[in-house]
């Protein structure tokens, strides 16, 4: 177990609705990244938060937004849901090192979102 939890496990929404997905990082980890994994594909980077600030974004529109809180929890919000937003949403926590380099990301189990 990575110590990273996500809720809910599954979610069904209709097109046009808004959704909030939640993640609880490993204790002490100051960085959370969110990924979208479509069926049969590898995860795609949405964005990363470091100490409650957005710290890099992938090729996703502004209707995808996030928040990171001081208590190691974070949220992914998606507005105006589209059918193509149906996917497994993964969060990954890591501890960003001061010296740079690669910070190992530990993934949660994901939230499966279905948009009808």
Partner 1 sequence: QKEVEQDPGPLSVPEGAIVSLNCTYSNSAFQYFMWYRQYSRKGPELLMYTYSSGNKEDGRFTAQVDKSSKYISLFIRDSQPSDSATYLCAMETGNTGKLIFGQGTTLQVKP
Which 59-98 residues touch partner 1, going by CB under 8 A? Answer: 90, 92, 94, 96
Alpha-carbon distance of 112 to 89, in angstroms, equals: 6
β-bridge mates for residue 76, sequence order? 21, 66
Question: Least distance in Å: CB of 2 to partner 1?
Answer: 7
The correct pick among 28, 42, 62, 70 for binding partner 1 (CB under 8 A) is: 42
Alpha-carbon distance of 53 to 67, in angstroms, equals: 8
Total site size for partner 1, rule CB under 8 A? 33
Q: Is the dihedral of CA 31, 37, 40, 42 positive or negative?
A: negative
Residue with tokens 């208590």: 71
Residue ranges that bind partner 1, judged by CB under 8 A? 2, 4, 6, 31, 33, 35, 40-45, 48, 50, 55-56, 58, 90, 92, 94, 96, 100-110, 112
């Amino acid at each position: 177990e990575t110590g990273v939890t996500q809720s809910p496990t599954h979610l069904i929404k209709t097109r046009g609705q808004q959704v909030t997905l939640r993640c609880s990082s490993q204790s002490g980890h100051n960085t959370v990244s969110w990924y979208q994994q479509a069926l049969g594909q590898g995860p795609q980077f949405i964005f990363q938060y470091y100490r409650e600030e957005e710290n890099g974004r992938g090729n996703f529109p502004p209707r995808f937004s996030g928040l990171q809180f001081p208590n190691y929890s974070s949220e992914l919000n998606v507005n105006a849901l589209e059918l193509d937003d149906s996917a497994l949403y993964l969060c990954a926590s890591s501890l960003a090192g001061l010296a740079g380099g690669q910070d190992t990301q530990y993934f949660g189990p994901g939230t499966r979102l279905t948009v009808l």
